[in-house]
Structure 1
Amino acid sequence: MKTIFISLLTLITFANLHAQKLSSPNTELQLKFELKKDGTPTYTLSYKDKTVIAESKLGLELVNDDTSLLNTFEITDISTSTFDQTWSPVWGEQSSIRNHYNEMAVTLLQPSKDRYIIVRFRLFNEGLGFRYEFPKQEKLTYFVIKDEHTEFAMTADHTAFWIPGDYDTQEYDYTTSKLSEINELFDEALTGNASQEQFSKTGVQTSLMMKTSEGLYINLHEAALKEYSLMNLNLDEPTLTFKSWLTPDAIGNKAYLQAPAVSPWRTIMVSDAATDILASNMNLNLNEPNKIDDTSWIKPIKYMGVWWEMITGKSSWNYTDDLPSVKLGETDYTKTKPNGTHAANTAHVKEYIDFASKHGFDALLVEGWNEGWEDWFGHSKDYVFDFVTPYPDFDVVEIQNYAASKNIKMMMHHETSGAIRNYERHLDTAYQFMNKFGYTSVKSGYVGDIIPRGEHHYGQWAINHYLYAVKKAADYKIMVNAHEAVRPTGLRRTYPNLIGNESARGTEFQAFGGSKPNHVTILPFTRLIGGPMDYTPGIFEMDISKLNPDNNSHVNSTIANQLALYVTMYSPLQMAADLPENYKRFMDAFQFIKDVAVDWEESHYLEAEPGEYITVARKAKNTSSWFVGNVNGITPRKTSLKLDFLEDGKTYEATIYADAKDAHYKTNPQAYKISTKKVSSKSTLKLKSASGGGFAISIIEK
């Protein structure tokens, strides 16, 4: 059902009209747009009569343009409208989503240049989205963005949950500090990565989560990022004003546009409840509707993988240690000596297939199956993989037939090593190979510096590629899970075969030195605002040295916390990331991973505080079953969990997977207890979460 109410205001003269206001549907948010005397556009945002964004400038600086799109504007038209629609996602956190906003489109003319732009504002109950639009016109057709001068002026020195601004990676642990402390703590916040480049010691990334001293939650991000470069934020310390900072290309330009064109939406969410930020669908609603007609082949996936053993160093991606370098098509692997640690071999993969099939999983990922891993990284190598040639010990046909006999889909792995041009060169052939052998989904990777050299992971050129790969995959009915690509901004609504992304510090970093125990209590407020993350949870053996004696890393989490991630870290693509032998040691806890759903009818964010805790309840699609997850930060806490989200008059059995009394993420991470209890909508559960712990609950109707 779709309902749209539109009122249009066209103003004949604007000689004395410089300020316009717009309210959210519930009137709690108020936007003020004003054109200053010199023709500079500005906006202000307030929430419940309190200023949230002080007066902030809008505009864009163009290459080789003395005036640019910064000032000397006149208002020539203002139109307002109201939109109210309910739509159904192909997959998601709920089966239906309401898209309700009030809109104001301001047309701005530069008389001296005889050109104009539109600034479009959409005000939802939970926040504001706005973008720049460049209609088709004679005097503004082809143009290059030198800088975007969008501002977000803060009203005080808020607490922020941030990672360093970077052109190539988001794989950082979060730092919690005052805005004024970002510069001081910036170097401490840095950690090594395969590709990274910071631009300023006051630069941070979106989605940026903040909390005011008065208890307001503010989130800055962007939506519908395409044909443009990613926006970081740079803080002007004296004024506490964030300014947009776009990722440059190899020669320093930010975006190349041809009208008609639009920028991504700049988004500001505001609430006095942290749970409202987590529950918002504003980012999705600012994207275009689904463009794929037949979506029957797009299905959420629970999978396992030949992956964690390589991440920890127990096994290797390489087939041999004999080769100092590889030239595809010239290197004969049959004449080399296998190293004995190559995990992607036929017999070993069959063992994973057997385990995944026995326990009801949908798919199996295998990494390191194809030739070229011996020198794939660190050489700025263009032709690094061809994505279709297996190692001698990986029999594609035999594995596919065996997997099919066990009702397991094989998940493809395409590591590009940042060589985007090479990937596009092989993309059709690679997708055809997947179709031939029954691979319905692909995990793509972009580790290392981007080729062409000088381009960045988050520049316009690479962003155009990521979407090109997703669109091309749709032609072959393939789902895409992109790692090291740009963070998502809601494009999954338009292209629902983009079923997952990494684009943040995932579980693998627990084997690379560890992540902070409260990391997973911040990610839903930041990275996940734009879309689901393939976080790869489910690690049961926290001491990595037991897999690899040379690796002393520790997974900073309890087992109960790992189970809860399947609910709190929303994704339609969920991996049981640990080795089968570790699950066999804790089969009673593993049961929750087997049971938990990956597609949802309803989601309720019950309690949350960034950096401290999150509790979520979700109802599995087309069932009466519910699953609850709680992840906790460093401080142990108690939860009084009301089950009033259950249907009245029905009885359920709750299976509770909780931290044991002496559980602790570092000293006793594998201590848990499992209990069952009859419950109803009137029940309240009293639960405890350890440091770095949590709880997970399955609630099944009886």
Structure 2
Amino acid sequence: MNKLLTIFMLLSTVLGLQAQELSSPDKNLKFKFSLQDNGVPTYELSYKNKPIIKSSKLGIETKDVPSFLNGFVISNAVQTSFDESWNPVLGEQKTIRNHYNELLVTLAQPSVKDRYIRIRFRLFDDGLGFRYEFPEQKNLSYFIIKEEKTQFALAGDHKAFWLPGDFDTQEYSTVTSNLSEVRGKMKAAVTPNASQTTFSPTGLQTPLMMKSKDGLYINIHEAALVDYSCMSLNLNDSNFVLESFLTPDAIGDKGYLQAPAQSPWRTIIVSDKATDILASKLILNLNEPTKYADVSWIKPVKYVGVWWEMITGKSTWAYNDLESVQLGVTDYSKTKPNGKHAANTQHVKEYIDFAAANGFDAVLVEGWNEGWEDWFGKTKDYVFDFITPYPDFDVQELHRYAASKNVKMMMHHETSGSVRNYERHMDDAYKFMIDNGYNSVKSGYVGNIIPRGEHHYGQWLVNHYLYAITKAADYKIMVNAHEAVRPTGLNRTYPNLLANESARGTEYESFGGNNPDHTTILPFTRLMGGPMDYTPGIFQTKISAYNPENTSFVHSTLVHQLALYVTMYSPLQMAADLPETYAKFMDAFQFIKDVAADWDETVILEAEPGDYISIARKAKNKDEWYIGSITDENPRTATITFEYLPKGKNYEAVIYADGKTASYDKNPQSYTIRKMKINSKTKVKVNLASGGGAAISVKPIK
């Protein structure tokens, strides 16, 4: 250690800056920051005197300037408190409290003249958020990140709900195992995808949900991912230390920053109750308030669409069966239709009629534009222009027809991973939408990214996704991005980001099936960062009914599908099955028609990741409640309470439940519907079948 660093560290000790401690507002969480030998920054976190994160290193390794790893002294440390309430544009509750104690530590490196960084820690009652900050200063301008070295030293071999670490996809089945078993289970966990890049036999994605042997629930993720690479985690399975692992670019660099700059927040949500994890708003609170002065155009959306019939193989996106087409060269009017193209004017009108008759806001149509014959897996730059329809799709007539029915059309933009091409056409595409009555878009990023070598979760793509969202806002368009980077609470700042996919959605039920526990895990993992367009509502669970060649089936009961509209929060909800199927089950379909998509209040009644979830929500600006309860492959009895209802007031509950012989694999369409009078003192026991659920609507008795 050089003399100058020794003097500074001695001075820090004398001034009392060498170690800093912080408590959460309710005193249950305790945090400590300190410098190890050679000035290495570290932190610790405990909950009710139980260790959550043991002494863990912090720092960033750089490529072109001295690294931010060691040689630090604490030049300043300031503690503050903050308490406010704010109202989300769309959300699970009307008002969110943002209450934390903060420690801002300024670290100098005496060996690097005139340079310093800050690390900001915010300790909430439900967890910790921290980030690196690089203020504008004399001796720090541009720099390249080689790797972020943030550690999360866990206190034991926790049970984990994990996905393989990957720079391009989250569309894997969640594996439930102890951390010590990750390495042995990794090979089987990596299943084929249109684009995938794993990086380590113990690499894991966030949000990472865990449960300790002494009953603590721990969730690690990030918040406010802006102008930075997405973080994965690399597990040292000999000591259970997780270390950040950023997504590289085409030449292996992990990020390019220019001061002033900051990293995303690293988040650790903790409780001894699983329900508290689902109720946490820590990630939203770490994001900035909305950037938009006018948010009146941002609304929740319930929609139907020409989609599931293509997913099942009943219909096609493509207009014909040509193997090679060139946009602007191929004359589709001179080609022979394949007879299975679903996005045709007459068929779409049938969906518009169904939407209008049942109170849905919008109709999504995929496969409407030229180019679908020759796009998948080609790494082809110029595939779509996002404005040229097939000959059988009359944009203007459908605009007129939908408007006459008070239904909006939802646009579909599949980029095929060609991000440069999408940006090239984006303004024209959004103008085309506005001219033809579209106010929301489902975008897709299937396949390897162009420019070649870039990854879906790298800094370059992270910036593109935000560019697409803010550009859409210029046209007052709402966005539903598929195959994009997993969300990190940015829907607070940019509320026209209605939802993302970024996980295995319902479409995989047609590709072999999701595990029965899938939707009991997603709220603890993927949905921690923001709403998901899961596309529930599948009533015909045998895919062969639509496509005899497809033997897949949906791994849930029909009533489980109803419950998902409550347990899987999203202000964008699709009734994904076909209108002719819903016509056979209109009594059950009534719940989908009734259920809200925006909420004033949410109560997590019971939860255990991978096993079961029961949630009650109050509809926005209405005296109506909706309850969803789901289970995994194990039948169980859910006890539903109603203490959240106003005392002394009676309501009618309509209870949609699995039939006595129901099960996801043998009798999924068996259900019962009953009504009963309830009040705040009522308790209802509902039997949930294997892969089953319950859905309850609660309305005041007039």
TM-score (norm 2): 0.98
**Aligned counterparts of 1:78 and 1:682: Cα–Cα separation in 2:** 51
**Aligned counterparts of 1:539 and 1:632: Cα–Cα separation in 2:** 17
SS at match of 2:12: coil
Counterpart of 1:383 in structure 2 is 382
Counterpart of 1:151 in structure 2 is 151
Counterpart of 2:164 in structure 1 is 164
**Aligned counterparts of 1:157 and 1:291: Cα–Cα separation in 2:** 42
Counterpart of 1:8 in structure 2 is none
Moved more, 124-133 or 187-196: 187-196
Counterpart of 2:24 in structure 1 is 24
Deviations 1:140-171 (A, max 9, x none): 11000000000000111010000100000001
**Aligned counterparts of 1:128 and 1:183: Cα–Cα separation in 2:** 28
> Offset at 1:15?
3.7
Contact 1:656-1:697 at 8 Å conserved across structures: yes
SS at match of 2:136: coil
**Aligned counterparts of 2:587 and 2:323: Cα–Cα separation in 1:** 46
Counterpart of 1:419 in structure 2 is 418
**Aligned counterparts of 1:341 and 1:138: Cα–Cα separation in 2:** 64
Counterpart of 2:349 in structure 1 is 350
Counterpart of 2:250 in structure 1 is 250
**Aligned counterparts of 2:623 and 2:646: Cα–Cα separation in 1:** 9
Deviations 1:53-87 (A, max 9, x none): 0000000000034x410000011010110000000
Code of the residue aligned with 2:176 in structure 1: it is T
Counterpart of 1:479 in structure 2 is 478
Counterpart of 1:213 in structure 2 is 213
SS at match of 1:14: helix
Counterpart of 2:6 in structure 1 is none
**Aligned counterparts of 1:49 and 1:517: Cα–Cα separation in 2:** 36
Q: How does 1:389-538 map to 2 (within 5 A)?
A: 389-538=388-537
Counterpart of 1:69 in structure 2 is 68
Contact 1:151-1:241 at 8 Å conserved across structures: yes
**Aligned counterparts of 2:639 and 2:341: Cα–Cα separation in 1:** 48
Deviations 1:400-446 (A, max 9, x none): 10001111100000000000000000000000001111100000000
Counterpart of 2:12 in structure 1 is 14
Contact 2:64-2:143 at 8 Å conserved across structures: no
**Aligned counterparts of 1:493 and 1:139: Cα–Cα separation in 2:** 34
**Aligned counterparts of 1:423 and 1:95: Cα–Cα separation in 2:** 36
Code of the residue aligned with 1:513 in structure 2: it is G
Contact 1:303-1:576 at 8 Å conserved across structures: yes
**Aligned counterparts of 1:140 and 1:668: Cα–Cα separation in 2:** 65
Code of the residue aligned with 1:377 in structure 2: it is F
> Offset at 1:12?
12
Code of the residue aligned with 1:158 in structure 2: it is H
SS at match of 1:641: strand
Code of the residue aligned with 2:32 in structure 1: it is K
> Offset at 1:138?
1.9
Counterpart of 2:199 in structure 1 is 199
Establish whether residue 283 from structure 1 lines up as the match of residue 305 from structure 2. no
Code of the residue aligned with 1:201 in structure 2: it is P
Q: How does 1:234-273 map to 2 (within 5 A)?
A: 234-273=234-273
> Offset at 1:13?
4.7
**Aligned counterparts of 2:72 and 2:175: Cα–Cα separation in 1:** 40
> Offset at 1:531?
0.3
The count of corresponding residues between Structure 1 and Structure 2 is: 690
Counterpart of 2:306 in structure 1 is 306
Code of the residue aligned with 1:315 in structure 2: it is S
**Aligned counterparts of 1:437 and 1:263: Cα–Cα separation in 2:** 40
Counterpart of 1:185 in structure 2 is 185
Deviations 1:311-333 (A, max 9, x none): 00000000011x22111111100
Establish whether residue 336 from structure 1 lines up as the match of residue 335 from structure 2. yes
**Aligned counterparts of 1:74 and 1:642: Cα–Cα separation in 2:** 54
SS at match of 1:440: strand
Deviations 1:193-244 (A, max 9, x none): 1001100010110000000111110000000001000000010111110000
**Aligned counterparts of 1:15 and 1:294: Cα–Cα separation in 2:** 50
Contact 1:18-1:36 at 8 Å conserved across structures: no
Contact 1:328-1:371 at 8 Å conserved across structures: yes
Code of the residue aligned with 1:398 in structure 2: it is E
Counterpart of 1:110 in structure 2 is 109
Contact 2:127-2:268 at 8 Å conserved across structures: yes
> Offset at 1:449?
0.4
Counterpart of 2:41 in structure 1 is 41
**Aligned counterparts of 2:670 and 2:203: Cα–Cα separation in 1:** 40
Extract unaligned runs of 5+ from structure 2: 1-8
Contact 2:629-2:638 at 8 Å conserved across structures: no
SS at match of 2:287: coil
Contact 1:126-1:280 at 8 Å conserved across structures: yes
Q: Return structure 1 stretches of 4+ with deviation > 4 angstroms.
A: none
Establish whether residue 369 from structure 1 lines up as the match of residue 368 from structure 2. yes
**Aligned counterparts of 2:61 and 2:540: Cα–Cα separation in 1:** 52
Code of the residue aligned with 1:103 in structure 2: it is E
SS at match of 1:38: helix
**Aligned counterparts of 1:651 and 1:445: Cα–Cα separation in 2:** 46
Counterpart of 2:672 in structure 1 is 673
Counterpart of 2:222 in structure 1 is 222
Counterpart of 2:52 in structure 1 is 52
SS at match of 1:426: helix
Contact 1:414-1:443 at 8 Å conserved across structures: yes
**Aligned counterparts of 2:325 and 2:101: Cα–Cα separation in 1:** 58
SS at match of 2:303: strand
Establish whether residue 89 from structure 1 lines up as the match of residue 88 from structure 2. yes
TM-score (norm 1): 0.98
**Aligned counterparts of 2:308 and 2:637: Cα–Cα separation in 1:** 33
Contact 1:13-1:76 at 8 Å conserved across structures: no
> Offset at 1:456?
0.2
SS at match of 2:388: coil
Contact 2:84-2:98 at 8 Å conserved across structures: yes
SS at match of 1:606: strand
SS at match of 2:201: coil
SS at match of 2:94: coil
**Aligned counterparts of 1:279 and 1:239: Cα–Cα separation in 2:** 31
SS at match of 1:172: coil
**Aligned counterparts of 2:10 and 2:595: Cα–Cα separation in 1:** 59
> Offset at 1:634?
1.4
Contact 2:513-2:553 at 8 Å conserved across structures: yes
Contact 2:327-2:384 at 8 Å conserved across structures: yes
SS at match of 2:392: coil
**Aligned counterparts of 1:116 and 1:42: Cα–Cα separation in 2:** 17
Q: How does 1:585-664 map to 2 (within 5 A)?
A: 585-664=584-663
Contact 2:643-2:681 at 8 Å conserved across structures: yes
Establish whether residue 567 from structure 1 lines up as the match of residue 572 from structure 2. no
Contact 1:628-1:697 at 8 Å conserved across structures: yes
Code of the residue aligned with 2:70 in structure 1: it is N
Deviations 1:318-375 (A, max 9, x none): 0011x22111111100100000000000000001111111011000000000000000
Report percent identity of matched pairs: 66
**Aligned counterparts of 2:521 and 2:677: Cα–Cα separation in 1:** 32
